[in-house]
Structure 1
Amino acid sequence: MPEDDFYGSIAARLDYLEAVPPGVLSDLVTRDGACMWVTAHPAEPDSAGSGFPDREAAAHICAGCGVRDACLELEFRTEGFDTLGVWGALAEDDRRAAYLAWRERRNGGRS
């Protein structure tokens, strides 16, 4: 799958959340997000020798999380392109590319 299609499919996957108020998304992510329970497993993923430690963190922390889409939708609405770390099971580079596709899908590319 071409990269544009990959990120476009991520953006399209979030369409069902467009009408959900940000407060509801925030409550859902805070209550059910796997990252809220990281203290139960404090060891960070081993990123030695890897060029993609955020991708490893995303895979480790977000594995099986039931609110990844809500997390990503919330992040896109509140911080967009400028945030750091892992959100919605995506590392920074992947999330930024997906954000651009999401923004284009939602408002025709206007900031």
Structure 2
Amino acid sequence: MCTELDELAAVPTEVLAAWVTDRGLCLWESTFGDPPEWSGEDEPDRELATRMCAGCPVRAECLELELRVGGAETVGVWGALNEDDRRALHSVWTRRRRAELEAMPDGEAP
């Protein structure tokens, strides 16, 4: 998963947000269909969201966006990961991003 996210490191946050908004299955469903009623607290809600995310064409982009914007604190399912899984990934993701920045020559940071 981290390798897939590494490929998105140079994509501007605004571009990621546009991709997720335009192509995300959960956003499409809630915009054009009957939105599922998710409270985020019930296990069936999380299972439903995880299943929907599994087939989403912007799952990695959604997860990358959430790690950037929400960090380790946001609840719910993003990029097919629940908050516990995302928090565990966040620390790895943060270390990888720092290592990428440190490896860049001065003046080349995104």
Query: 2:57 matched to 1:66?
Result: yes
Q: Which residue of 2 aligns with 1:96?
A: 87
Percent of aligned pairs with the same amino acid: 52
Gaps of 5+ in 1: 1-9
Identify which of structures 1 and 2 has the higher relative contact order when contacts are C-alpha pairs closer than 8 Å and 6+ apart. 1
Gaps of 5+ in 2: 100-110
Q: Secondary structure at the match of 1:14?
A: helix
Closer, same or farther: CA 94–38 of 1 in aligned 2, 3 Å:
same
Q: Which residue of 1 aligns with 2:106?
A: none
TM-score (ref. length: structure 2): 0.74
Query: 2:24 matched to 1:33?
Result: yes
* Deviation (angstroms), 1:81: 0.4
Q: Do the aligned partners of 2:49 and 2:77 also contact (CA within 8 Å) in 1?
A: yes
TM-score (ref. length: structure 1): 0.73
Q: What CA distance in whole angstroms lies between the structure 1 residues aligned with 2:34 and 2:52?
A: 9
Query: 2:7 matched to 1:16?
Result: yes
Superposition RMSD on alpha carbons, in Å? Answer: 2.1
